[in-house]
Amino acid sequence: MIAPIPRDIPDLPAVPGPPLLLPAPVPATAVVAPARRPPTAVFRLLTAVVAAAGVALQFLLGTPARTLSYFSIQTNALLALVMFLSAARAWRARRPLPSAITGAALLYALITALAYHLLLGHASPPFSMTAATTPPERWHAQWVALQLLHTLAPALALLDWLFLTPATRLHLRQAVTWLFYPLAYLAFSLARAAFLPPSAPSRYLYPFLDVDAHGYRSTLANALLLGLAIYALAVLLVTLDHVRPTPVRHRV
C-alpha cells in the first residue's frame, strides 16, 4: 500500500539568496592548457644568452676557480639556466617553472645589480674580478663582462617579470627560503678565505666581506645588514607581485 500523504507538511526555511560560489580549489592553469608564447620564449632565450655570455667572458678573463667563486657569476649561471628552461617551456606550451625558482633567480639577479651599482661600481680601490688595480676601460672586455653580469642581464630579468610573467605567483613564505643561498655564500666566502694564504690577492672577493680590513665583528655586521636588505627586497618583490597588473591573464 501507498502511505497516506500527511496533512500537515512542515514549512521549509526560506532560501535567503542564491548560494555563493566557493573559490575553486585548483588554479585555472590546472584545467586550462597553456598556450605557446613564441615572443616570450625568444625574449627569455635572449636573457639566457646575455647571462651566459657574461659568465663565459669572465671565465676567459680570469682563472676558473676565482671566477666561479663570485656571487654574480653563480647568480648569472642560475639565471641563464632558469631563463633557458622557461624559454623552452613557453615555446612548447608547457607549464612554467615553479615561482620559488623563478623568483629566486630574479631576486639574486637584482641583488647582483644593486650591490654592484651601489657598493662596488665606485669603490676605491676599484672592484675587479681579475685582480686588476685600475678601473676597466669602457668597451673593453672586462668592462663589457661587468655590464653584462651586473646591468643588462638583471634588467632583462626584471623586464621579463614585469611584462611576461603572470602576477600573484610569489608568496611571502618564499622570502625566507630565498635567504638560504646568500647565507650559504657568506659561509663559503669566509671558509674560502680561511684556506687561502694571507698574501693571496683574491682572498676576499668583495670589500664588505674583507675580514683583514674590517675584522670579523664588522664583517658579520655588514653581512647582517646585507641580509636584512635582501629580505626587505624579497618582501618588496612579493608585495609588488600581488599589486601589479598581470600581463598574462588566461593562459600562461
| Buried-exposed string 24-40: b where 16+ CB fall within 10 A, e elsewhere | eeeeeeeeeebeebeeb
Question: Is the C-alpha dihedral spanning 82, 131, 64, 195 positive or negative?
Answer: negative
Q: Per the structure block, which three cell numbers stand in for 182? A: 646568500
pLDDT for res 122? 86
Q: Which stretches in the chain have pLDDT values below 70?
A: 1-33, 248-252
**According to DSSP H, which parts of the chain are helical?**
38-61, 64-68, 71-91, 99-115, 141-147, 153-163, 173-177, 180-195, 211-243
Q: Per the structure block, which three cell numbers stand in for 149? A: 653580469
pLDDT for res 249? 59
The pTM score is 0.86
What distance, in Å, lies between the first and last C-alpha atoms of the chain? 62
Cis peptide before 125 (omega within 30 of 0): yes
Residue 56 and residue 28: Cα distance in Å, rounded? Answer: 40
pLDDT for res 8? 59
Residue 82 and residue 103: Cα distance in Å, rounded? Answer: 10
pLDDT for res 250? 47
pLDDT digits (tens, 9 = 90+) for 156-168: 999 999 999 999 9
pLDDT for res 4? 64
pLDDT for res 95? 94
Which has the closest alpha carbon to 48: 97, 114, 121? 97
> How many C-beta atoms lie closer than 10 Å to residue 95's C-beta?
11
pLDDT for res 123? 84
> How many C-beta atoms lie closer than 10 Å to residue 106's C-beta?
24
- Name the residue type at position 29: T
The answer to whether 242 and 169 have CB atoms below 8 angstroms apart is no
> How many C-beta atoms lie closer than 10 Å to residue 115's C-beta?
20
pLDDT for res 252? 47
